[in-house]
Structure 1
Amino acid sequence: MSEAELHDAIVIGAGFAGLVAARDLIEAGRKVLVLEARDRAGGRTYTSTFPGTDVVIDLGAEWFDPQRHHFMAAEVNRYGARFVEADKDGANRWYLDGRHGEGEEPDSLVDMAELETVLDRLKADVAPVVFAKGFDQVNTAELDIPFSEYLDNLDAPPAIADLLRAQSYTLTGALPEEFSALVYLREIAGFDNDPAYSFFASLARVDIGSGGLAQRVADEISDHIRLGEPVTVVTDSGDRVDVITAAGKTYSARRVVLAAPLNTLGDITFSPGLPAPLARLVRQGHTGRCIKVWSRLAGLKYVFAMGWPGIVECTVIGEVNERDGKRSIMASFGLAPDLAVDRVDLVQAGLDRLEMGATVEEVYGHDWIGDPFSKGTWLALRPGQAPDLAGVENNWGAIHLAGADFAGVWSGWVDGAIQSGRETAAAVDAALAATET
């Protein structure tokens, strides 16, 4: 495909949303070009193996609920992959209110009757939230406050408050002071308004990795993808859209699918400018900044841990046998300054705080916050941003918006990215067809 060609559609971004949008348009007979800034497809999914092993790990998005994430399940089935359930064969570790415990549940640290009372209050607050309506909600303005403030209003016992800080982090990847309580409560609504179930809802990963699945989509349309092509300018002239890359190349199309992360859109100059609600969101950015670090451990006897503060959650996904004994491959999650993808000492300190009894031998990960093509992890709205996200148009002029950050249902999840990409492809195809009659 040359620069001089007029494409039916240019897709900006080869994450899941962009990939499935491009695939569906190609299957509809459209001439499509995908421009991806990175040297790989997959976006915020990224699959590798832990160095020196054959253990498949996801450096980005990883966990799913196959019973609810139907668009993801369809892609898994289409490409011959399968879901693998989390390994529960082992002990769990808990660290709440400065105390340690173990067991399937944190009942050694938390009064379960008190926890049930607090969860009932969450259920009552979630009740007005209609999950299928995204952030276009009514009667929820009082929930659009910092989660830390919401938690103070609950007046929960200290250990339960720490448990909620940790669990809300697993669904937002952000600091309680920075993300909106509405984001967390809406996630609970997606899991049938069941706070207890939402604690451990995402119990399956993909055997080939999420990024491995994305690569299978990319392989199917590889002739249409250009890697290492960051887009810097998008100009909608009415009869065509010109897209300029950092290398100075210009590509043109009748329609553009904008499938780049929200936090990166400020690096693109749009003419005309972005609609006001989206422009405000781009200026502010969302606050998702989860740090995920994989490590090889000696002497580990737990398969899962959760605590606050420090390392918030860690999960073992594989083991390798070495001459001097077994090693565990584990993912740890937290926030700066407690974790960094290249700091063995921070992971060791975090595991010691949890009293995991393990020695960290090596760490591995990807810096999504420092990555210029993500500038953060999955969507976590700040207080006050929900109305703007609800007001973002899916289409203005010849530009169509797609991606997990803008998904109408499972926003922030790969399932939302896929649904958004597929629905956007259908809208683009219909818009193209309307000009051909």
Structure 2
Amino acid sequence: MPIDITMPALSPTMETGTLAKWLVKEGDKVSPGDVIAEIETDKATMEVEAIDEGVVAKIVVAAGTEDVPVGQLIAVLAEEGEAVAAPKVEKAEPKEVPAAPKAEEKPAPAPEPVKAEAPKPAAPAPTTTDSGDRLKASPLARRIAEAKGIDLGDVQGSGPGGRVVKADLDVGKPAAAAPTKAAAPTPVAAPAAFETEIPHEAIKLSNMRKTIARRLTEAKQTIPHIYLTVDIELDALLKLRGELNAALEARGVKLSVNDLLIKALATALIEVPECNVSISGDQLFKYSRADVSVAVSIPNGLITPIIVGANGKSLSAIATEMKELAGRAKEGKLQPHDYQGGTASISNMGMYGIKQFEAVINPPQGMIMAIGAGEKRPFIVNDALAIATVMSATGSFDHRAIDGADGARLMQAFKSLVENPLTLLA
């Protein structure tokens, strides 16, 4: 009996995905656990495994197809030698509309209009031209035209074969609303496609880049950010890191500065619980565990794998887990539970020599810590001016959920933990 393979839901919020690559072809035998395809979600490229044994009888959705709905049939498995009928795949195209009746045919008389007090709705967009030819328009364009009272026959289509698409209706003129004498002229919308004479390469945005753009725009438009910066002496932390790495060398563990800063942020969040929060509607969520999301740059964008319960983990455990998560992130192998959630974030750009920056909050979290480069600076050490290794750290806080004074207390706690790093081992 044929077995349908459908587009899987790889995360709780996934509605569509891109079928990036097929790793099998029609006629190939597969067994449970074999990787058969790669699906690109808004966060990562993930592998899809076969759950049944059989032969790939039919590949329904081609590699590279975008916006494939969850649950849609993408392939069919069958037993060896079993015949499989071609699957029926529903298309989004509207059904053909019958052409206008010929001269010798007598169309049915139209019913008499019913008089009513309410104004008449805009006439539906015509589906044929004056010559009887069927108008070419996307289903969405037809719905918009009907809602706005736009005559599709007056719109020049920019789609394939002159097909009218949504962008063409931005400059269409509604037929039902003639402007009054005092009305201002209708502004012409910007062209749908950006045009430039500068030599360039147009690269289509990946699902991940689209999601980054949407979420960062949402964060900056809806979250009132407040920024607090402190300068922190690093010499004691660097010295402790060197001693710990020497002791951990036999175990194959190497601590990075970022590993210690993750631990320091998690500990500070527990010490100042007013900052370990997120806001949703009229509710404030206060967390008793610090799950720290760590920004990792990958070829297609940025992703934030999570060190769950970082406040209760040893430095060696954080280092080992972070190395494994970063490796899988760059290979696109993270699972949704690896990057969804978190109570706060940390973003370190010190390795690029960035002295100080302000990071954008990752909603629905309430804060993110931005780490700059450690550099030699004049600094007051033990009440005397000296040259020390100093870094600037900037916390971005959601002012709807976190007051400035509480944010300042978190920055103070973070600074104290970094400058007295033995407390991270307690």
Q: Is TM (by shorter chain) over 0.5?
A: no
TM-score by length of 2: 0.19
Specify the structure having the higher radius of gyration (Cα): 2
